Amino acid sequence: MLKRILIGLFRSFETTGDRAKDPALKTKFYKLSKDRTWEEVVTVLKKMNGYKILHEVPNVGEIVVEKKTVTGRKQDITLTIIPITPAKTAVDIYSASRGSLGDLGANYRTILEIYRTLERKLADHRST
């Protein structure tokens, strides 16, 4: 956690992906169609406190969300839903803080919070 805060002194974004060194930032896969995953992700985001969906672009697979931090800064979060097969879908997240200073690990924590919430909701559909 201290490492994340130190990185966050200088960096004001975080992203997930297949090649992420941190296991917590690895892409999440679900045994669901893209449309079903989309519905579940939107439902989860609408129920999360402090998150506001700004844009939904289903044909591209992107959901843009805004979150206000405790310090009053805003984070712009993009969730990308990628169909792998007709019955398997990947979810990646990019989170960036507005402003020029680092985020002290806030974007990292935001990604973990979204992934944890999705994992609880979609536990039966988890894939590797």
**Which pLDDT tens digit goes with each residue over 70-119?**
778 899 999 999 999 999 999 999 999 987 777 778 899 999 999 999 99
Rounded average pLDDT over 46-55: 95
CATH number at residue 50: 3.30.310.220
pLDDT at 3 over 90: no
Report the number of distinct structural domains present in the chain: 1
* Band of residue 2 on the pLDDT scale cut at 50, 70, 90: low
pLDDT at 20 over 80: yes
Measured CA to CA, the distance from residue 19 to residue 74 in angstroms comes to 27
Measured CA to CA, the distance from residue 60 to residue 53 in angstroms comes to 16
Q: Are 104 and 5 in contact (CB under 8 A)?
A: yes
Q: What percent of the chain has pLDDT over 90?
A: 73
Residue 89 CA, chain-centre distance (Å), reads 14
3-state secondary structure of 79: strand
Which residue range(s) make up the domain with 54? 2-127
3-state secondary structure of 89: strand
Instruction: Please give the pLDDT value at position 106.
Output: 87
